Amino acid sequence: MAELSVFATSILSRVGTFAVEYAINDIKLACNVRSELEKLKNSLKAICAVLKDAERKQSTSSSLKHWLENLKDVVYDIDDVLDDVGTRALQQKVGKGEIGTYFTQLCIFPFELGRKIRKVRERLNEIAALKTSFSLIEEPIDTPSDEIVQRETHSIVDERRIVGRDKAKNEIVKMISESVDSNSDTLSVLPIIGMGGVGKTALAKLVFNDKRTKEKFDKMLWACVSNVFDQKHIIDIIIQSDSGESNKQLTLEALQRKLHELLSEKRYLLVLDDISHDNTNDWEELINLLPSGRSGSMVLITTRLSKVASVLKTIEPYEVPKLPDEECMKVFVRYAFRGEKTKDTELLKIGESIVQKCDGLPLAARALGSLLSTKDIAKWQEVKEKKLPPNDIMSVLKVSYDALPSDLRACFSSLSTFPKDYEIFKELLIMYWMAMGLLGTSGRSKEAIKMGETYFSELAGRSLFQDYVLSLDGNVSHCKMHSLVHDLAISVSQNEHATISCENFSASKRVKHLVWDQKDDFSTELKFPKQLRRASKARTFASRHNYGTVSKSFLEDLLATFTRLRILVFSEVEFEELPSSIGNLKHLRYLDLQWNMKIKFLPNSLCKLVNLQTLQLAWCKELEELPKDVQRLVSLRYLILTSKQQYLPKDALKDWTSMVFLQISACPMLTSLTEGFGGLSALRELFVFNCPKLPSLPSSMNRLVTLQKLIIHNCDELDLSEPKEAMGGLKSLESIELVGLPKFETFPDSFESASSSLKYLKVSDCKEFKKLPDFIQRFSSLKKIEIPERHSSSSITWA
């Protein structure tokens, strides 16, 4: 999935610092190790110099493409060898308290280490010797950070202004109004159909949010159903669109009852957006499950599939027309010029020719406009001259992808491992990229996270994300991808990506990223497919939106097969016990077990994973506690925790000096964050949600001098006035959000420590909150205060 030039360059950088980072120079008798590292570095340098040229030319030569594939295999093996040694060093440091013991042991094995490095170097040299056959041109070797400095970043364009769809919106609103006024007791179904990228979803949103539509209905619900058909999941997201809370732990029967309770005797409008599953029987069954509601209730569907529309319709489908060129030009200009008042006339003239390639599709105009926002006339001319097949939006999107720098192409293709319409949280995506090794291989998390934020902004600026949800500070919290952009990500990563299940286990030995897509729920009878052992070098195994219970033997076989995993995602699947063999995944960086409602304990062997950076345990409601040696997870940077424990492990907190993000949610028994909390010396973001028994924050919290964001929701007993010193020392705090804290009255005096840093403040649903303190007026950096008006006679005032 990673571009080879990016991956090889990062490995070259790692080899260059490896001897220093792990003090190889201090190891007696290890001169052969130093020598082999130097030889490996020289061999990699020679290869990296021609990789960019090779990647550009591979589409014209099958033999060159095959050469690059063989080369990538070796580079992955080099990475594994280096990671093995680095892991052993870190394990010794954790186990003994000092790294010297490791080096004493390593003195016995310097030749073994040198032999491993020599073996992969010789394989590299064998393949590298063939490069002369391809007449490749050497180019300067840039690190990813060099490329970031050289590139212009992009801003995100406001997507709410939809161009050229007023007529279509009014026509559909009229159709809805006429259907409602007919007072039919039958549930109406109105399909909106059109080709991919024409703007069906955008048009449906305009209709959904129109005042005339809202006046007709008691309930308005929206569910995106672009994933593989799953009746239980669809009913859950329909309910969630009203309540905001997922009920995925409920059975299908219980969800159906809840849906009927929600919609019975209500006139409702339900949008089923982006139907892509073509089995009409499945959709008919779902529609028949929906309560008829009060007379005039309606389902609005959007789909590319005319067959599905014709079967489900009770009203003639509305076909979304393509945009005229002049309207398409408006979309293109908005993204190409980003609100600039003066526009280069020569570029506009070229743009008129480019827009004709968009074939009336807003998504294509958006993609090409974003691509050309740098105003490079040569680039505009190049796109104008490019010949693209008519009526082929994927070719247009591919132009946008091909223009991405190599490091961004690697990050974009990684998105293929997420399901369609998945809510992608920015911080988690950055950790995902870090686990894949796409943000550099050094241990400097601050620089890697900054690089990840830049990559995200650049992909967003090129309109490869959409549906942004912003946090209080105006930064992106999460977003989605258009289904066609997701298709593009799968297309460009197909050599290293495989979607598998027990019915489809065709994965080659070169596959690095496996996505489990089981049409039926997991069951304890399900056996792990032995054929998947061909893909034993996979680095990602991801199962999302698959439900049911998986057996321990299935998990044991999986863990025994994929020992080189960097990422393991098993969310929404239930099992009572995680096998102790999880501790053998020494390369693992990212572990996601969220929404497992059965697991009670995690094996202590998990704590052997000294490279683990991200641990997701959200909504693991039966989890009793974290393992006893959890402090050994010294690389942990991102933790989301739901458990029954009364307090956080004090010993662990002082060793989690790399932790930058901590979310504690739905912990019903939690009464203390413990005084060791101040040991989280790198913490940047702290979220505390739904902890009803938590009485206070620890006084040691005033040592969190790097904390930038503090969000606390729905903690009934939390009193921020005691201890008074807890909120002192927050000298880097930029954003604070307090919601649903019935005992919160005002900020303690110690909070004045944030006077020069705080920019965003929100207080909501805190019934005892009366006023902001005097010192808030001395907060010199405040940009936004969000405090809803009180319903009582007393109003919130500045003291």
Q: Specify whether the CB–CB gap between 564 and 587 falls below 8 A.
A: yes
Q: Rounded CA gap, 42 and 40, in Å?
A: 5
Q: Rounded CA gap, 176 and 318, in Å?
A: 11
C-alpha torsion 418→419→425→426, nearest 10: 40
Residues 103 and 119 in one domain: yes
Q: In 338-423, which ranges are continuous DSSP H helix?
A: 345-356, 362-371, 377-385, 393-402, 406-413
H or E segment at 192? strand 188-193
Q: Rounded CA gap, 70 and 413, in Å?
A: 20
Q: What is the pTM of this model?
A: 0.89
pLDDT along the chain (799 residues), means of 10: 76 75 51 81 90 86 91 92 83 64 51 82 92 87 52 52 90 96 92 94 93 95 85 91 84 91 93 92 92 93 93 95 93 88 89 92 92 89 86 87 88 94 96 92 76 94 91 94 92 89 83 86 89 94 92 96 97 94 97 96 96 97 95 95 92 88 97 91 96 95 95 96 91 97 94 96 94 92 87 40
3-state secondary structure of 773: coil
Residues forming a β-bridge with 474: none
Q: What is the pLDDT of residue 683?
A: 96
Q: Rounded CA gap, 688 and 670, in Å?
A: 11
Does any domain span residue 121? yes
What does DSSP say about strands 268-275 and 298-303: parallel, antiparallel, or unpaired? parallel
Domain boundary pick from 126, 141, 156: 141
Domain boundary pick from 261, 285, 319: 319
Taking alpha carbons only, the member of 635, 614, 599, 537 closest to residue 568 is 614
Q: What is the pLDDT of residue 98?
A: 45
C-alpha torsion 437→441→447→449, nearest 10: 20
Q: Specify whether the CB–CB gap between 624 and 644 falls below 8 A.
A: yes
Compute φ and ψ for 736, nearest 5 degrees.
Answer: -135, 135
Q: What is the pLDDT of residue 770?
A: 85
Cβ–Cβ contacts within 10 Å for residue 378, how many? 6
Residues 170 and 282 in one domain: yes
How long is the chain? 799
Domain boundary pick from 494, 521, 541: 494
Does any domain span residue 152? no
| 441-446-449 Cα angle (round to 5) | 75
Residues 235 and 102 in one domain: no
Residues 668 and 597 in one domain: no
For 213, the domain range is: 166-319
Q: What is the pLDDT of residue 799?
A: 40
Residues 287 and 429 in one domain: no
Q: What is the pLDDT of residue 110?
A: 60
Residues 181 and 294 in one domain: yes
Q: Rounded CA gap, 476 and 593, in Å?
A: 24
Tokens (6 digits) for 771: 């006023």
Taking alpha carbons only, the member of 195, 193, 197, 47 closest to residue 128 is 47
Instruction: Specify the CATH number for the domain of residue 196.
Output: 3.40.50.300
Residues 66 and 132 in one domain: yes
Tokens (6 digits) for 755: 């006077």
Q: What is the pLDDT of residue 152?
A: 46
Q: Rounded CA gap, 235 and 286, in Å?
A: 9
Instruction: Specify the CATH number for the domain of residue 439.
Output: 1.10.10.10
Q: What is the pLDDT of residue 20?
A: 57
Does any domain span residue 348? yes
Residues 490 and 537 in one domain: no
Number of helices and strands in the chain (H, E): 24, 23
Residues 678 and 701 in one domain: yes
What does DSSP say about strands 219-224 and 735-739: parallel, antiparallel, or unpaired? unpaired
Give every CB contact of residue 723 below 8 A, 6+ residues apart in sequence: 696, 697, 698, 699
Instruction: Specify the CATH number for the domain of residue 539.
Output: 3.80.10.10
Tokens (6 digits) for 469: 């949800």
Q: Rounded CA gap, 419 and 227, in Å?
A: 7
Q: Rounded CA gap, 425 and 431, in Å?
A: 10
Taking alpha carbons only, the member of 488, 423, 468, 421 closest to residue 273 is 421
Does any domain span residue 159? no
Residues 640 and 659 in one domain: no
Q: What is the pLDDT of residue 35?
A: 82
Q: Rounded CA gap, 210 and 166, in Å?
A: 11
Does any domain span residue 424? yes
Residues forming a β-bridge with 592: 569, 616
Q: Rounded CA gap, 507 and 308, in Å?
A: 32
Taking alpha carbons only, the member of 745, 738, 739 closest to residue 721 is 745
Q: What is the pLDDT of residue 2?
A: 56
**Residue pointed to by tokens 């991801």:** 542
Q: Rounded CA gap, 595 and 764, in Å?
A: 28
| 584-585-591 Cα angle (round to 5) | 130
Q: What is the pLDDT of residue 627?
A: 95
Q: How many CA atoms lie within 13 A of 468 on its CB side?
A: 21
Q: What is the pLDDT of residue 465?
A: 93
Residues 586 and 505 in one domain: yes
Query: Is the peptide bond between 579 and the residue preceding it cis, with omega within 30 degrees of 0?
Result: no
Does any domain span residue 531? yes
Tokens (6 digits) for 336: 């190409």
**Residue pointed to by tokens 């938590």:** 694
DSSP code at position 425: E
Does any domain span residue 127? yes
Residues 591 and 666 in one domain: no
Does any domain span residue 146? no
Q: Report the Cα–Cα distance between both ends of the chain, in Å, rounded.
A: 57
Q: What is the pLDDT of residue 160?
A: 60
Q: What is the pLDDT of residue 795?
A: 40
Q: Specify whether the CB–CB gap between 295 and 218 falls below 8 A.
A: no
* C-alpha dist (Å) from residue 174 to 72, 179, 181, 191, 710: 58, 9, 10, 14, 46
* C-alpha dist (Å) from residue 736 to 83, 535, 686, 696, 725: 39, 46, 10, 16, 17
Q: Rounded CA gap, 529 and 446, in Å?
A: 40
| SS3 track for 495-539 | CCEEEECCCCCCCCCCCCEEEECCCCCECCCCCCCHHHHHHCCCC
Q: Rounded CA gap, 298 and 596, in Å?
A: 35
Q: What is the pLDDT of residue 102?
A: 47
3-state secondary structure of 156: coil
**Domain count along the chain:** 6
